[in-house]
Each structure stands twice: as structure tokens, then as C-alpha cells.
Amino acid sequence: MSTILLLLRRIDRWRFLIIIRGAEYHKEEIMNEITISVIKADVGGYVGHSSMHPNLITKAIQSLEKQKDKGTIVDFHVTHCGDDLDLIITHKLGEDSGDIHKMAWDIFVECTNVAKELKLYGAGQDLLSDAFSGNIKGMGPGVAEMTFEERKSEPVIIFAADKTSPGSWNMPLYKVFADPFNTIGLVIDPSMHEGFTFEVLDIFENKTVKLNAPEDLYDLLCLIGASEHYIIKNVCKKDGTIAAATSTQKVNLIAGRYVGKDDPVMIIRCQSGLPAVGEVLEPFSMSYMVTGWMRGSHWGPFMPVSVEDAHPTRFDGPPRVIALGFQVTNGTLIGPRDMFADPSYDLARQQANEIANYIRRHGPFEPQRLPLSDMEYTTLPHVLNKLKDKFK
């Protein structure tokens, strides 16, 4: 009997050891993963909607420096595109972390206070709530996040835009991950040959659908060609490896009235089974049309610029996009390299200026002005309301 008891105890101890080992292995797995959170908000423009006052950037850096010292985050970089403050943060707390979102919210509130002291334009305009409530999504700021295990080398590009909307990433994401005329790797790299999965959000119904490229190409284009309605939320390899993530919040839909355009951010991982850095940047060599610009009510050409030139002024535009490249090394952001500070984008910038010149001549007429359906959340309905009794 005692031999049987001894044997049972031993089996129990082995089971215990196996459980402990398993938990340690799982813990190690989580420890090796890193999350990149890019969280942005317009908390006050300088001058008007054109740019960011340096005191706001300084304030954000000071706050994130403290969080880095405390060990809450691994690393960070603060930048801006036009009047949008972009916090690029690496940490170990995973996506949708209440701690990280609260930290970003508090920083935006602190920066809003600086903006109010300086009487900057639209101070705190993207903070739609008085108090933080668990998750920053739906409260005004835009968020793009992804979690992954670092590869041997981890090149990542962070895109940030101003005077446009989240659907602006649809065309470049399609080109990067589904169009061989942009990404030759889809054809000649066996590790990319099977294609990618796109998760598309219907922003009105708040539902998503997953579509594969190349199998579902035409269905995919059917949706994402309507970039004010369907927005690519993320792109993965077929084995589930995350490749790209965007911010999909629409400030005007959240607020139910026009409170500024919801300028988006995006994260894309590059190389080694994913598109090369040059393939990820290539779509921006054409200045394609996006919605936004003056009062968020116009179509305009998307202009790729360096951070130094990310201060839209002509008719509050034309819409801008910046691209910051980092090597992520043990969670540390090595960089940034200002990817559009390159003369090879001069033609795209010239093209943007020429298109801007042409389309501006349409003034308040479509297609410079957005169609009525897209003006619903602007101030236009107030004008239409005034006229309604005059219709006979």
C-alpha cells in the first residue's frame, strides 16, 4: 500500500513539475513578444490646424521618459504630422492594455493643458470624453497596435497622416500586400507567394470580414475601393503572422458631429517573408487622392513628406503623410529614419502640387468638395436645415 502511495506522490510531483515548466515556457514566450502601440491625437494646432507647437512635443517626451524610467514601457518616440501628436511606444503589456491607453490619455490631457495655456487652436479637440474609461478607443484618439515576437532583424515603418481619414491606407495596403506590379516579392519570393489575409472593417456596421489575396481579390477591391465605408484594419500572413495594423477610429462618427478629421496612423513590418522596405514605400510614389483637406470636406492629393515638411498650409493642406523607419531591437526603437526625406519622392510631391492646383479651381463644387453623404457629419447640415422651409 505504502509503495502505491509513494508512486502516486511521485507521479503528482512530475505532473507539478511539468505544469511549472509549461508555465515558465509560456511566460518566456510572452516575455519575447513586444507590442508596438502608435497612439495619436490632435490636442491643439499651431498656427490654426497647420502644425504642432514644440512645447507639446517636449511635454510628451518628458512624460514618456518618466514611464520608461519606471519600466512601464520599453522605449518610445514622439513625432507629429501637421497638428497631430503621435506617440510611438514599445512595451510588454500587449494590445488594448488599459495601463498603456491610460498613460497615453494622461499625456494627451497634459499636452492639452499646455495647448490651453498657449491658446493653441482647438486645444484638446480629439479628447471627446472628460475622463478615461478603460480603453482609449472610442474616446477620440487614434490607435494602431500590433504584438509579435522579434525576428532576427525587425524593420518596421510607422506612417502618420494629417488632413485625411483612415481609408487613406486602403490603396497602399492593397498595393503592398496584393499587387505584384508594386511588390515583386509576391511573385518571386516563395515565402510571400501564398499571399496575405486582409481584415476589413465596415465602419458603419462595426463588423469585420477577412478576405484572402489573391483568392478573393475582386471581393476585396469591391469593398476597399469605397474607402469612406470599408477600412483595412490589419493584414496578416496566411499563418496569422501580423504584417500591418491601422487606426480605424472615425472621430466624426464617434462624436456624431464634426470635430476634426480623424487623421490615421499605420504600422507595417518589413522584410524576411514580408514585403521589403522599398515595396512598402512604393505606393506613395504616386500622389493618390484622399478625403480630408480643408474642414475635412474635400478630395485632395496625398503628399509624402519629411517630418520637417509635415506642416500643411495651402488651403490647410494638401493632405500629408510621413513615414518613420525603425529597427526594433529587444523592444528598443533604433531610429527613426525619415523615409520620405528622399529626392525620389520629389515627383510625387510635384504631382501633388499640380493636382492641388487643378482641383482647387473647382472651389465649392464636387469633386473637390465631398459628396453630400460624406458631408453629413460636417457643419453643412446646419446650413441645409436653415433652407428647408424655403423649399416649396
Smallest distance, Å, CB 126 to Mg ion?
8
Q: Which residue is it, cell 514605400? A: 281
Nearer to Mg ion, 42 or 338 (CB): 42
- For binding to Mg ion (CB under 5 A), which residues are involved? 42, 82-84, 162, 263
Which of 46, 258, 345, 377 is labelled catalytic?
A: 258
H or E stretch at 10: helix 2-32
Q: Determine whether 175 is an active site residue.
A: no
The answer to whether 112 and 127 are in contact (CB under 8 A) is yes
Which of 42, 75, 162, 338 is labelled catalytic?
A: 42
Number of Cα atoms under 13 Å in the Cβ half of residue 153? 8
Smallest distance, Å, CB 377 to Mg ion?
16
If one counts every other C-beta atom within 10 angstroms of the C-beta of residue 102, the result is: 15
Nearer to Mg ion, 49 or 175 (CB): 49
Q: Which residue is it, cell 515565402? A: 191
Smallest distance, Å, CB 46 to Mg ion?
12
Smallest distance, Å, CB 82 to Mg ion?
5
User: Rounded distance, CA 368 to CA 381, Å?
Assistant: 18
Smallest distance, Å, CB 262 to Mg ion?
9
Which of 75, 250, 261, 345 is labelled catalytic?
A: 261
The identity of residue 314, as a single letter, is R
Q: Which contacts of 380-388 are long-range, i.e. CB under 8 A and separated by 24 or more positions?
A: 380/297
User: Rounded distance, CA 93 to CA 283, Å?
Assistant: 33
Q: Determine whether 309 is an active site residue.
A: no
Q: Determine whether 42 is an active site residue.
A: yes
Smallest distance, Å, CB 84 to Mg ion?
4
Smallest distance, Å, CB 83 to Mg ion?
4
Nearer to Mg ion, 77 or 163 (CB): 163
Nearer to Mg ion, 179 or 263 (CB): 263
Nearer to Mg ion, 82 or 185 (CB): 82
Smallest distance, Å, CB 42 to Mg ion?
5
Nearer to Mg ion, 78 or 220 (CB): 78
Query: Going by C-beta distance under 8 Å and a sequence separation of 6 or more, which residues neighbour residue 208?
Result: 199, 200, 201, 202, 233
The answer to whether 266 and 169 are in contact (CB under 8 A) is yes
The Cα-based distances of 34 to 19, 61, 95, 121, 194 in angstroms read: 25, 21, 10, 36, 26
Nearer to Mg ion, 185 or 292 (CB): 292
Number of Cα atoms under 13 Å in the Cβ half of residue 315? 21
Q: What's the residue count for the chain?
A: 392
The Cα-based distances of 19 to 6, 25, 137, 162 in angstroms read: 20, 10, 36, 50
Helix axes 98-117, 54-70, angle to 10 degrees: 150
Nearer to Mg ion, 162 or 216 (CB): 162
User: Rounded distance, CA 231 to CA 163, Å?
Assistant: 17
Q: 3-state class of 349 per DSSP?
A: helix
Q: Which contacts of 118-122 are long-range, i.e. CB under 8 A and separated by 24 or more positions?
A: 118/44, 118/46, 118/53, 118/55, 120/44, 120/45, 120/46, 120/53, 120/56, 121/44, 121/45, 121/46, 121/47, 121/48, 121/49, 121/83, 122/42, 122/44, 122/45, 122/49, 122/83, 122/260
Q: Which residues are catalytic?
A: 42, 258, 261
